Amino acid sequence: MHSICPLLRRASCKSQHLAVRLSVLRAFSVHLQNQVTEEAVNQPSSLGANARRKANLILKTPKGTRDFSPKQMALREKIFSSIISCFKRHGAVTIDTPVFELKDLLLDSHLEQSKLVYDLKDQGGELLSLRYDLTVPFARYLAMNKIMHFKRYHIAKVYRRDHPSVARGRYREFCQCDFDIAGQYDPMIPDAECLKVMHEILSALQCGEFLIRINDRRILKGIFTVCGVPDAKFEMACSTLDKLGKVSWEEVKTEMVQEKGLLPEVAESIGKYVQFSGGWGLIDQLCQDPKLSESQLAMEGLEDMKLLFEYLTLFGIINQISLDLSLARGMDYYSGVIYEAVLLHQSSSHCKEPIRVDSVAGGGRYDGLVASFNPKGQKVPCVGVSIGVERIFSVMEQNIEMSKEKIHTKETQVLVAAAQKNFLAGRMKLISELWDAGIKAEMFYKKNPKLLNQLQYCEETGIPLVAILGQQEMDDGVVKLRDVATRKEINVPKENLIEEIKRRLEK
């Protein structure tokens, strides 16, 4: 009896455990069933929301930005190649800097332009902004690395929270091409070279007739001072004057008086000077002006302008140079010579909507910018030029459309083709040999493409040569080489094919 009781107790415990396990399993089963049912109910709602979001999605680039097609990129690469070639010809080396900078650094350098700077959210305890131009990052680079002499070029995108205007070639994201000379040198020699660089690039790109307008911030400061503009209002007055050409003098004068707080007689006096432009004769006239001669700063600027005109004459570009007293340049870091190039006669009866171009290049001297970043205030004089590649591109693209010139987007030199079926292996082996030899080659991604389609592709895309494989050619140990332009074909021994292709491409 005593031996039976423990067995009964153990059986009773097992029954209880089994009942608990079954109860848990039933509850879990019900929970899973409810969850599956809930997901089944909610899933259509989620899918419907995604479908609605996709239906409402607008596929477009943000305002002031754009995509570039292969044809557009082919033209842009041609422009960049010409610009870089000129920069290197003048001994410049290239650098790169981050697309964003510390916010305080940018705003200290862009007082008037601070409202156009894109700010970023606080990241890791740093307040950042997208770069507005390439000049401030360059000055920061010089100060940070304690560089006293440097000739560099930099091609990169910059960002401005501006009102975009496609008709004027103005965007919020665009590319700048900068060339700068940093260091203490004899007066006006680096300045003259920057103007020569600008002239060479605009001449090489053949985007139209152009004029380079020149002024000096010292001359402008002298004019404003003798006319009664307070020093505190000089930069504001410059930013207003910089609009002259885009708007009339009367509109500029009104803004100076009503928004900048200048007296009407002061604005009227400024107008007597800033509407002058010319060459050597204007320099002599200003040097003899009794009122302007009271400004030592203006006289210094005029003496340097004489020297600059002498150097530009030696460089052979003086005929496309004009001293223009209305030129102010909006950046407040400019300290001496300033300049910009404008295209002439851009309107055309053949174009429905002619592109209006304000300027296609600009620059100047900014001797104090590097010192503003240096804790010891160490000065590194700088002068530079920036090529307005976006505006040049807009004009050249329009000119190509008008002339109906065909742009080839491919640089492929040879198409490896087959005249018969079952030559995929032969084509793949041959194209690999061409690639290894540095020849730009393509082939169709089909096992058995039609020969006619392959030849038409070459004519449409501008590929100059076709290497054709066939059974007869394979038996004879040759490759048929076809000139796409003339449609003439010759059989070339396979071992001589690469040499023959390179010889033809060099012509």
What CATH number is attached to the domain comprising 498? Answer: 3.40.50.800
pLDDT at position 8, please?
A: 38
Whether residues 140 and 175 fall in one domain: yes
Concatenated DSSP letters for 13-67?
A: HHHHHHHHHHHHHHHHHHHHHHHHHHHHHHHHHHHHHHHHHHHH----PPTT---
Residues annotated as binding site?
133-135, 160, 176, 180, 329, 333-334
Q: Is residue 62 part of a domain?
A: no
457 and 380, same domain (yes or no): no
Say if residue 282 is in the same domain as residue 361: yes
Does residue 40 fall inside a structural domain? yes
pTM listed for this prediction: 0.82
Domain check: are 284 and 252 in the same one?
Answer: yes
* Structural domain count, the chain: 3
Residues 382 and 447 in one domain: no
Domain range holding 439? 414-506
Whether 83 is covered by a domain: the verdict is: yes
Q: Does 182 reside within a domain?
A: yes
- 225/316 same-domain check: yes
What b-and-e string marks burial along 131-163, b requiring 16 or more CB atoms within 10 Å of the CB?
bbbbbbbbbbbbbeeeeeebbbbbbbebbbeee
Q: Are residues 395 and 425 in the same domain?
A: no
Q: What is the CATH number of the domain that holds 112?
A: 3.30.930.10
User: Considering only CA atoms, which of 191, 156, 173, 185 is closest in space to residue 84?
Assistant: 156
Distance CA 103, CA 92 (A): 29
In a domain, 361, yes or no: yes
Burial (CB < 10 A; 0-12, 13-18, 19+), residue 241, is: buried
CB 329 within 8 A of CB 386: no
Q: Which pLDDT tens digits describe the chain residue by residue (507 residues)?
A: 444 444 334 444 444 544 545 454 454 444 445 554 455 445 555 667 777 777 778 889 888 889 999 999 999 999 999 999 999 999 999 999 999 999 888 877 655 567 788 988 877 888 899 999 999 999 999 999 999 999 999 999 999 988 887 766 678 999 999 999 999 999 999 999 999 999 999 999 998 899 999 999 999 999 999 999 888 888 888 888 888 877 888 899 899 999 888 999 999 999 889 888 999 999 999 999 999 999 999 999 999 999 999 999 999 999 999 999 999 887 778 999 999 999 986 544 444 444 445 689 999 999 999 999 988 888 999 999 999 999 899 888 888 888 877 788 899 999 999 999 999 999 999 999 999 999 999 999 999 999 999 999 999 999 999 999 999 999 999 999 999 999 999 999 999 999 999 999 998
Instruction: Report if residue 308 sits inside a domain.
Output: yes
Residues 467 and 383 in one domain: no
Residue ranges of the annotated binding site for L-histidine are 133-135, 160, 176, 180, 329, 333-334
Residue where a domain terminates, one of 403, 431, 462: 403
Q: Say if residue 293 is in the same domain as residue 423.
A: no
Given a contact cutoff of 8 angstroms between Cβ atoms, the answer to whether 150 and 178 are in contact is: no
For residues 46 and 87, membership in a common domain is answered with no
- Residues 389 and 393: their CA atoms lie apart, in Å, by 6
Do 248 and 382 lie in one domain? The reply is yes
- Whether residue 64 is contained in a domain is answered as no
Give me the DSSP letters along 190-229. Answer: HHHHHHHHHHHHHHHHT---EEEEEEEHHHHHHHHHHHT-
Residue 61 lies in a domain: no
Indicate whether 338 and 440 sit together in one domain.
Answer: no
